[in-house]
Amino acid sequence: MTLLAIETSCDETSAAVVRDGVVLANAVSSQAQLHAEYGGVVPELATRAHLRNCLPAANMVLRSANVTASDLDAIAATQGPGLPSALLVGFQFGQTLAFVLQKPFVGIHHHEAHLYSPWIAGDPPRANFENFQPSVSLIVSGGHTMLVHVTAELEHRLLGSTLDDAAGECFDKVAKLIGLPYPGGPEMDRLAERGNPAAFSFPRPMIHEPNDDFSFSGLKTSVRYFLRDHPGFLNEQPRVFDLCASVQAGIVDVLVTKTLKAAHRLRVRCVTASGGVTCNRALRRELSSACERAGITLRLAERNLCTDNAAMIGVLAERRLRRGNASTSLDADVRPSWTLDQYTNTPH
């Protein structure tokens, strides 16, 4: 089965060709530079960029996979959640192509695709569902932070999510306070590698609460107060490295502690992690050592599949189609506020 998949939920335009669980081609056109001067994603600009980039991205992956439109058995696109107008570009593109080619069209839940992305690995990347294990899954990015109990393949239950800022948003907002360019997460990661994570003590919000929810806005606010109380601090470069490392340590500590706590409580032997913040080196290191200490298998999404990409959309769409568990209605619309707990095993 050969699929073309499209992802345009936020600020990356991505297309991929997936055949029998193998990612033949995956292209991501990042708009980070376009939004940098505004310090965040501007929906109107994102939508226009998707309109410019969608067809070239699709063309590029088809050519690179040596696949023509007539070889396609299905088209998939992200249905939600995401920026409404951004989602519409990829979704309408996919629906139109499916209509013209008279092939099934599958709308995919963005978070569910992140959820299964750690099972895509290798060169070329391939879905490894034969090794599937029930897991506790951390999805952590700029727009979402959540823990999910995956009880069986395509069966999952949302355990908790952030009550305010996502972890990536916290990285980005703190980076902005420090004066780092957008998106600040990767930059914080880079500077933190040179600092002392124990230099300053920042709060670990909700770390000991008996639930699986998160909250990161207080951590961001405490950095704002810290900078207010230490005028001139940002001129001392080594101290800035320490600040980045200490804030990062707080975020990572909360994520790792709550993930492992959920895994122990639910008695699962596997933890997975995906989403843009999973690129963070300290998070990868700390999750690895915590899982190793606990004798738990860890599957981290590969770095190029952590951030938004169409490969994960295509892999999940194929899986759903093969299991007869995909809605292929061309009447479907985008669902910008679609949360994982509204999503049952029956797609909409």
95 is written with which tokens? 């629906």
CB of 172 to ligand KG4, least distance (A): 5
Give the residue with the Cβ less far from Zn ion, 58 or 166: 166
Number of shown-chain residues binding Zn ion (CB under 5 A): 2
In this chain, which of 286, 307, 310, 340 binds ligand KG4, going by CB under 6 A?
A: 307
Q: According to the binding rule CB under 6 A, does residue 94 interact with ligand KG4?
A: no
Which partner, ligand KG4, Zn ion, none, binds residue 314 by CB below 5 to 8 Å per kind? none
Give the residue with the Cβ less far from Zn ion, 165 or 308: 308
Query: Phi-psi bin for 25: left (phi > 0), alpha (psi -120 to 50), beta?
Result: beta
Is 14 in a helix, a strand, or coil? strand
* CA gap 119, 126 in Å, rounded: 8
Are 310 and 73 within 8 A, CB to CB? no
* CA gap 6, 150 in Å, rounded: 25
Give the residue with the Cβ less far from ligand KG4, 10 or 86: 10
Give the residue with the Cβ less far from ligand KG4, 14 or 222: 14
* CA gap 281, 59 in Å, rounded: 34
Region from 76-84, 96-104, 136-144, 221-229 binding Zn ion, contact rule CB under 5 A: 136-144
Number of shown-chain residues binding ligand KG4 (CB under 6 A): 20
b or e along 169-204 (b: 16 or more beta carbons within 10 Å of the residue's beta carbon)? bbbbbbbbbbebebbbbbbbbebbeebebeebebeb
Cα dihedral across residues 258, 187, 78, 123: positive or negative: negative
Interface positions, 153-182, toward ligand KG4 (CB under 6 A): 168, 171-172
Q: According to the binding rule CB under 6 A, does residue 241 interact with ligand KG4?
A: no
CB of 12 to Zn ion, least distance (A): 9
297: part of which helix (H) or strand (E)? strand 297-300
Q: According to the binding rule CB under 6 A, does residue 250 interact with ligand KG4?
A: no
List of residues contacting ligand KG4 (CB under 6 A): 10, 141-143, 168, 171-172, 183-186, 188-189, 275-277, 279-280, 307-308
List of residues contacting Zn ion (CB under 5 A): 141, 308
